[in-house]
Structure 1
Amino acid sequence: MKSRPQKSLGFRQMLAAGTAVLSMTVTALVPAPAYAQFGGIVYDPSNYAQNVLTAARTLEQINNQIRQLQNQATSLINEARNLASLPTSVLAPLQQQIRQTQQLLGEAQRMAYNVQQIQTEFLRQYKSMDLTAPQRAMVDGAEGRWQNSVAAFEDALKVQAGAVANIEGTRSAVNDIVTASQSATGALQAAQAGNQLLAVQSQQLTDLIASVTAMGRAQTLDAANDAAAKAQAREQLRRFLAPGRGYVPTTAQMFRN
């Protein structure tokens, strides 16, 4: 009868020991909290991962901003190139050539390029010439009209020579413009090169108009001279054949004794 309490006590000890082992096993299976402490600093893996993700997103935003700034800088550079002026200008030599042509036109002899003067002189010398004037006056008038024609042809030759002399300047200007346009960096430089080429064409048209005008003036004065000479010739013939005022034969001595 005395051995039963000892068996009961041993069973209880074994049961308590099993309970302790089971408790330790359950504790081992339960996940531990996601943080640890090292030297007083708490380390939280989930918080660390979140911070790394936030830093990565911030870095990506910074990179995007850098790319935007680079694109803006490129755009500003392109705009600056488009606004850059052409380093070459041929306006001054072209204007000088036009002034030379104007000077030649201004040196027109006898009957200048002036509307009022042309009206006055043309009316006096060609359109309303006095056919009742003495013979000497009619001869002087014919000579004056002939001199007008000769001077006009001389003026035309001068203007044409000036136009030919400008050809070399035009060639040089075109060469400079084409060379500059080939290295144009923006739209403004290309447009300015095109405008300067148009200016060269305008200068050439100016020389052409001046040459045609000078030649037309000479031909017009020559045609007017022919018309006036015909009218004067008819009057002189009428005077020559008029009774009592015509030609009277006289003795002419060709050789002296």
Structure 2
Amino acid sequence: MRAFRRRILLAVVLGLAVPTGPALAQFTVFDPTNYASNVLQAARALEQINNQINALQNQAQMLIGQAKNLASLPYSSLSVLRAQIDRTRALLAEAQHLAYDVASIQQAFTSNYGAAPLSATNADLVARADGRWIISVAGFQDALKLQAGVVGGLDANADQLSALVSASQGSSGALQAAQAGNQLLALQAQQLAQVTALLAAQGRADALEAADRAAARADAKARFWRFMGGSTIP
């Protein structure tokens, strides 16, 4: 009987010592393996986020670089270069007496520089010589006007060159650098056009002078043969 009572008492004590219900739910068991796995997963997720951030930063830098490369040059010298070319063309168009035209040149050489007709009088020969002299003087005057116009535009060309070089050196991308280079080439082409116009004007004046000398010799020959009584000019 005493042994049975002892067993019941022990069972009651054990029953009071073991928590049940909510008390049992508050008891937490630490699992080191599960904790290490969770930490590893969190580290991997953080690494992926950092990689994505770096990728986005690289893409942003690439887009910024592309935007700079596609940015257009804010400076243009086209209007100034076109104005200078138009001024040179206007000076060429003002050619006096003998224009830069094949038909007019042919007509002038037929009337003023060709062989003197047998029926030409001394007054006719003098008039031909005066006409040639006027054309020669006008040719040299046209050349001088064109030279003055080109020299007058040297300051504008120098300003354009400085502006374009500054724009090229300060370009933020490939497109701006290429556009600045193209405008520098356009400036060079405009200067070459002016040099060509100068050579043409000077060559025209020299050719008129040479033609005048040749025609004067032909007229002198005609006078000599007429003085000698010749009926034809050899």
| TM-score calculated relative to the size of structure 2 | 0.83
Distance 2:25 2:105 in 1: 114
Q: How far did 1:48 drift?
A: 2.5
Q: Which runs of 5+ in 2 are unaligned?
A: 1-23
Map of 1:228 onto structure 2: 215
Where does residue 139 of structure 1 map in the other structure? Answer: 126
Larger radius of gyration: 1
Mapped contact 2:146–2:198 kept (Cα < 8 A): yes
Task: Please name the residue that 1:190 is paired with.
Answer: 177
Question: Comparing 91-100 with 134-143, which one deviates more in the overlay?
Answer: 134-143
Q: What is the aligned residue count?
A: 207
Distance apart, 1:179 and its partner CA: 1.4
- 1:172 partnered with 2:173: no
What displacement does 1:229 show? Answer: 0.5
| Structure 1 residue 118 displacement after superposition | 1.4
**Conservation of the 8 A alpha-carbon contact between 2:115 and 2:218:** no
Match status 1:99 vs 2:83? no
1:137-180 deviation per Cα after TM superposition (whole angstroms, max 9, x unaligned): 22211111111100000000001001101100100001101111
Structure 1 residue 66, shift from structure 2 partner? 0.9
| Matched residue SS, 2:74 | coil
**2:116–2:222 Cα contact (<8 Å) kept:** no
Which amino acid letter does the alignment assign opposite residue 227 of structure 2? F
* Structure-1 separation of matches of 2:25 and 2:157: 88
Shift of 1:128: 4.4
SS of 2:98's equivalent in the other structure is coil
| From 64, 72, 75, the counterpart of 1:77 | 64
Is the contact made by 1:131 and 1:138 (CA closer than 8 Å) also made in structure 2? no
Does residue 153 of the first structure (1) align with residue 130 of the second (2)?
A: no
CA distance in 1, matches of 2:113, 2:166: 54
CA distance in 1, matches of 2:29, 2:116: 125
Identity, in percent, stands at: 52
Aligned equivalent of 1:24: none
2:41 aligned partner? 54
Whether 2:195 is the aligned partner of 1:201: answer no
TM-score (norm 1): 0.76
Where structure 1 has 5 or more consecutive residues not aligned to the other structure, the ranges are 1-36, 244-257
CA distance in 2, matches of 1:143, 1:80: 68
Structure 2 Cα separation of the partners of residues 45 and 131 of structure 1? 130
Cα 1:41–1:125 shift into 2, 3 Å: farther
